[in-house]
Chains A and B, each alone.
Chain A
Amino acid sequence: MNNEFPKLSKKEFKILELLVANGEMFGLEMIEASEGELKRGTIYVTLQRMGDKGYVESREEPREHPEIGIPRRKYWATGLGEKVYQTNLKAREFFNSELVWGGVN
């Protein structure tokens, strides 16, 4: 049994939130959907790190003829990524619930 709680940074949480909700997405689509939370330069570094952890996977999507250019990468959340996301989501919901704070704002 793994005793280490899989923490997600704000960006990682946002990325997984988008991927779990939308299935496969391009990086640019995630940037547009995040409304400024995810940045163009740093998203791919974050995605690579998440890939190393096993939370996301990706594949190259070749351009359709007659488009030219470097093929874009499409990303999706793995089973582990979804599990980690759901865990973090439940943890946040619990932390923000009345059970923890009672009547205190």
Chain B
Amino acid sequence: MVRETPISSEVEFEYDSYLWILKFLRVLRKIFRMQIFYQVEYKYVRGEKLTLKLVDLLNENKIMFSGLVFSYPFDCTNDMKKLNDDLESFVKKWRKEMLNSLKESQNEKIKLISPLGNKLLMISGFLFSKINQKEVFEAVVADWQEEYFEALFKKEIWKARWINVRYTYAFLAAMWMKSPIGDLIQFVIKIAKQ
């Protein structure tokens, strides 16, 4: 049975400069050619561990992963090239180990999927304002995810697929209503009622 399960990643490492984190992300971007949305859990304090929570990793091959905590000791040096090499090998090893551990922990076939509604959110993010994006479109996708994962949890795969269809339509309907044409129709209805 194909299991569509989303997973998230937390990576812990020690750095002696916050700039290393940005370089780390640039390496990830370079290796995977992916867009990265990340959230820094703690403010950097020199010498203390920093947890970087990577959420919604996407790439051309549609990968999203979550739920795995991976710790890797770093050899921090001032040599950028060496650090970059270390980072590259770390990320490759991390990705390989993560996928292997997923396969080992579950005997079923694993399918990694992109976040639900992500492409539609990208379109709406381009066309509409941030407030509309936050209050309308993200709210639709949040409900979408809620219903979808609930169906998956109950192993109702076909229901989950139907939910995808239904919410795609709902999202497009919301975009239509928020568009200038939708506003115009609303205005005409308001005038007609008076």
Chain A residues with CB under 8 Å of chain B are: 26-28, 31, 39-42, 44-45, 47-48, 51, 58, 66, 68-73
> Which B-chain residue is minimally distant from A72 (CB atoms)?
B142
> Which B-chain residue is minimally distant from A75 (CB atoms)?
B139
> Which A-chain residue is minimally distant from B144 (CB atoms)?
A40
13 contacts between A and B (CB under 8 A): A40-B140, A40-B170, A41-B170, A45-B174, A45-B177, A45-B178, A48-B135, A66-B67, A68-B6, A70-B145, A72-B142, A72-B146, A73-B139
B residues contacting the other copy or chain, number (CB 8 A): 30
Q: Which residues of B contact A70 (CB under 8 A)?
A: 138, 141-142, 145
Chain B residues with CB under 8 Å of chain A are: 6, 8, 55, 66-67, 115, 132, 135-143, 145-147, 149, 166-167, 169-174, 177-178
Beyond the given pairs A40-B143, A41-B173, A42-B177, 15 more chain A to chain B contacts, judged by CB atoms under 8 angstroms and listed by A's residue number, are A31-B143, A40-B167, A41-B169, A42-B173, A44-B139, A44-B140, A45-B177, A48-B136, A66-B67, A68-B67, A69-B149, A70-B138, A71-B142, A72-B146, A73-B142
> Which A-chain residue is minimally distant from B148 (CB atoms)?
A69
SS class, residues of chain A in contact with chain B: mixed
Q: Which residues of A contact B143 (CB under 8 A)?
A: 26-28, 31, 40, 72
> Which A-chain residue is minimally distant from B193 (CB atoms)?
A7
